[in-house]
Amino acid sequence: MNHWAEKYIGLQWSPLGNGIDSFNCWTFVQHIQKEKYHRELPEILTDGAANLAVMRACAVESGMDHWEPVEVPTEGDCVLLARATHPAHVGIWINANGSSGVLHCAKGPGVIFQTPANLRNSGWGSLSFYRWKL
């Protein structure tokens, strides 16, 4: 990959993700937004194994008023992923070596990078993109 995100690939998933050496999808996004983009996202206290509960908490607690929907994502934008109609997972859009996709922390593999085609093959049918408003 030869990209700043490479050092995160393979880090462990944990439902409560401590944000240091294990993550759930939200704590991973929160960690990257702070470390790489200097954005302070709020903590969301919920079980990371309950994806729908995380997304509901995100809608209420994540400062959604700071995010605006965009059609075409750029590096650092947040990505909401859905298996049906409701978002159930979150990641970060990155551009790595001519390949664009989502860096996210999933139950099982931990932190992974997937292109939109890989995501579709994994069952994620819908992607929504959000950019931090300054």
Token output for 111: 């932190």
Q: Would you place residue 45 in the very low, low, confident or very high pLDDT band (cuts 50, 70, 90)?
A: low
Q: Model's pTM, two decimal places?
A: 0.85
Predicted pLDDT of residue 115:
95
* Secondary structure letter of residue 12 according to DSSP: E
Whether residue 28 contacts residue 15, with contact meaning beta carbons closer than 8 Å, is answered with no
* Secondary structure letter of residue 54 according to DSSP: H
User: Tens digit of pLDDT for each residue in 58-108?
Assistant: 554 445 567 899 999 999 999 999 887 777 889 999 998 789 999 999 999
